[in-house]
Amino acid sequence: MKKKLISLMIATFLLLVIIITTIRIGYAVTWSTDTRLTTDLSNDWDPAITQTSDGKIWVTWYSERTGNEDIFYKISSDNGVSWSSDIQLTFDPSLDMHPSILQTKDGKIWVVWDSNRTGDYELYYKTSINNGASWSEDTRLTTDSSRDSFPSIMQTSDGNVWVFWTSGRTPTPIPTDKTYQPGQADIYYKVSSDGGQTWSPDTRLVTDYKNNYRDDLHPSAMQAQNGSIWVVWDKEAKDIYYKIYNGTGWLWEVQLTTDPRIDTVPSIMQTANGRIWVFWDSDRNIYNDLYYKVFDGSWSNDIQLTTALEDDLWPSAMQAKDLTIWVVWCSPRYPQLVYGIFYRSGMELHDVGVRNVTPYTSHKNNTLAYRGEIVYFAVEVENQGEGKETFEVKCYANSTQVGSKTVTLGSGKTYVLAFNWNTARIKPGMYVTNAIAEPVLGETHLEDNSMICGPIEVRIWGDIVGVYNGVIQPIPDRHVDIDDFGIPIGHFGCVGPAWPHPTWDPFADVNEDLVVDLDDIMIVGVHYGET
């Protein structure tokens, strides 16, 4: 009987352990208000944002304040509480526009932009190896006679630096479909594996079907956590598209937005929980506003971010080390009514918790264990936030840690972890189980991060009775002595309640096999004297 009960208990426990529930939960990002970053009375355009390894946030843009267009930047060392003054980066009398910024793994900061200083627009870059204390000379990156503009710089996990941009160099054939006009621009890229000393040839990215007859503009690129490279852009400043490099080749381009109004200038990033975000500006509400959508196995609906009565344009986004999401853009907000740089930050919901703690012992009520037995705990945890989370779960019996395990869960999913508690050296007594899901970065709702169950009583085998107020009572006293011997001896030969035995006493049946016999007496003898 006891073996069947144990087998049933273990089977139930193992079935519970493999259950994974996939309930989807949706939450909104908590965004700050729009904050103006630049206050110059000339127009500031097309910002780009990044965070360097020392935690500083950098924003770069181009400005008309010098009489033409030059690249500027500013830095915050305290997550936007304060900012440096505007710092001019380029000084050429020609136009320098559309910067993109990156810090590579070797600590070098790169800024790449386009300039017409050669008579047509080409890409240039400069670098700093000392966090902006000094900068290299402007270095020309492209040499084609057609226009090269709108660069986006990124680094892959192998250390290679990639630059994507729009170029007008592509000789476009006349489309057979007369509803399409010949395009003037395509997305190109090139790669350096040695920190910019040498570069690969310029490579055309977009080569797909009849959409190739449309202009491809404003690329933004990043490498995802799985190693794939994602590039987003807009076609003819109308719809957002993206394309993925899977390690062996570029997949087919995919249309991301379908609104009949203009969607343009996308920016792509991935948050630490694995979700991919694309921001862009759109004129679907009379004024241009910023929108975004999120990929977490499937794409969300388009979500409006800004609602000002002025145009919001040219977004750039990143996630900081504290998991806040930053978006910068330009807008001619009142009262200046010239284009300035604005930003806002937001935090996804990060929330993990413990849903249930269930003990399993080899006894019917699962609240009793004899010292030396294994107690099993099934701890069900849940990711109640947005996106994937990896977190540690700990299980305690009173102050003794039973175990610690790490789990990774997608948004809205639950999982059951198994913990085994060996009671071989545990003092007899009452034990309360506490399971704790360690808070993840950015988590503020901590009320459900732990759960208590129990108590579970750990006894010594053979400890049946105790003397209380001079009377022997069927309450273990955490000591196996002569009084415990008397119980199975006095009921020797009794069988369980299935038979009409008037002297049956379940406390005398020490091994719970429904018969009081020599085995029960021997158990008391083996543990005699234990406390």
Preceding amide of 260 cis, omega within 30: no
Domains 2-23+351-459 and 44-310 share a fold: no
Assigned token pair, 79: 């997550």
Assigned token pair, 136: 């290299």
Classify residue 94 as exposed, middle or buried by CB count within 10 Å of its CB (0-12, 13-18, 19+). middle
Calculate the dihedral angle through the C-alpha atoms of 434, 438, 442, 448, rounding to the nearest 10 degrees. -20
pLDDT (tens place) for every residue of the chain, 531 residues total: 444 444 444 444 433 433 333 333 334 588 999 999 999 999 999 999 999 999 999 999 999 999 999 999 999 999 999 999 999 999 999 999 999 999 999 999 999 999 999 999 999 999 999 999 999 999 999 999 999 999 999 999 999 999 999 998 866 555 555 554 545 789 999 999 999 999 999 999 976 544 555 789 999 999 999 999 999 999 987 899 999 999 999 999 999 999 999 999 999 999 988 899 999 999 998 899 999 999 988 999 999 999 999 999 999 999 999 999 999 999 999 888 899 999 999 998 899 999 999 999 887 778 888 888 899 999 999 999 888 899 999 999 999 999 999 999 988 899 999 999 999 888 898 999 999 999 998 888 899 999 998 788 888 877 777 777 777 777 777 777 887 767 777 777 778 775 556 666 777 777 777 887 887 777 777 777 778
CA 153, CA 445: separation in Å to the nearest integer? 37
| 172 Cβ contact partners less than 8 Å away, ≥ 6 residues apart | 182, 183, 184, 212, 213
pTM of the model: 0.76
| 320 Cβ contact partners less than 8 Å away, ≥ 6 residues apart | 51, 57, 79, 326, 345
SS (H, E, C) 53-115: CCCCEEEEEEECCCCCCEEEEEEECCCCCCCCCCEECCCCCCCEEEEEEEECCCCCEEEEEEE
CA 466, CA 471: separation in Å to the nearest integer? 8
Name the pairing type of β-strands 413-422 and 374-383.
antiparallel
Spatial strand order in the sheet of 263-270: 263-270, 276-285, 287-295, 303-304
pLDDT attached to residue 28: 59
Residue extents of the structural domains in the chain: 2-23+351-459, 44-310, 466-526
**How far, in Å, are 387, 416, 433, 437, 495 from residue 353 at the CA level?**
14, 12, 16, 6, 47
| Cβ contacts of 234-242, under 8 Å, gap ≥ 24 | 234/263, 234/264, 234/265, 234/266, 234/280, 235/211, 236/183, 237/262, 237/264, 237/265, 238/262, 238/263, 238/264, 239/263, 240/264, 240/266, 240/278, 240/280, 241/211, 241/216, 242/268, 242/278
The HSE-up count of residue 458 (CA atoms within 13 Å, CB side) is 22
Q: Classify domain 466-526 by CATH architecture.
A: Orthogonal Bundle (1.10)
Radius of gyration in angstroms for the set of CA atoms belonging to the chain, rounded to a whole number: 34
- Asked if residues 305 and 292 have their Cβ atoms less than 8 Å apart, the reply is yes
| 443 Cβ contact partners less than 8 Å away, ≥ 6 residues apart | 350, 351, 352, 385, 449
**CATH no. for 2-23+351-459:** 2.60.40.10
Q: Classify domain 44-310 by CATH architecture.
A: 6 Propeller (2.120)
- Asked if residues 424 and 372 have their Cβ atoms less than 8 Å apart, the reply is yes
pLDDT attached to residue 372: 87
- Asked if residues 70 and 90 have their Cβ atoms less than 8 Å apart, the reply is yes
Tallying the residues shown for the chain, one arrives at: 531
pLDDT attached to residue 500: 54
